Amino acid sequence: MRKRSHIVPLHLNAKELKRLNDLSELSGWTREEFLRSLIMGAQLRTKPCPHHADLMRRVAGLCNNANQLAHTANSTGQASQQSVDEMLRIASAVMEEVRDHW
């Protein structure tokens, strides 16, 4: 037996149906899921771009490298110019990734 046993018929004109279809497609949900989420007070958000996950992985990898450099600098009590230059390179790479792919 289904959890949702109540059916609510809804009549829409062509413009309303198009808007519903567009919004549900942007959200990545079916029309039913989309309407249920609206009823329950969910915030509407568009579904992330297909390349979003890859970009986040790349940025996370660059940030992990930066964190390792910072950890080394903290444990030794000093940061070499080479480490500072590498941190700047990583920060530039992160900004470039975001700018190019976001």
Residue-level pLDDT at 21: 93
Q: At what angle do helices 81-101 and 52-76 cross, to 10 degrees?
A: 170
- The pLDDT tens digits of the residues spanning 59-81 come to 788 778 778 878 888 888 777 77
Residue 47 region by backbone torsions, left for phi larger than 0, else alpha for psi between -120 and 50, else beta:
beta
Average pLDDT over every residue of 20-24: 91
Q: Which residue has the tokens 């009549």?
A: 11
pLDDT, position 19: 94
Tell me the C-alpha distance between 45 and 19, whole Å.
15
pLDDT band at 101 (very low <50, low <70, confident <90, very high): low
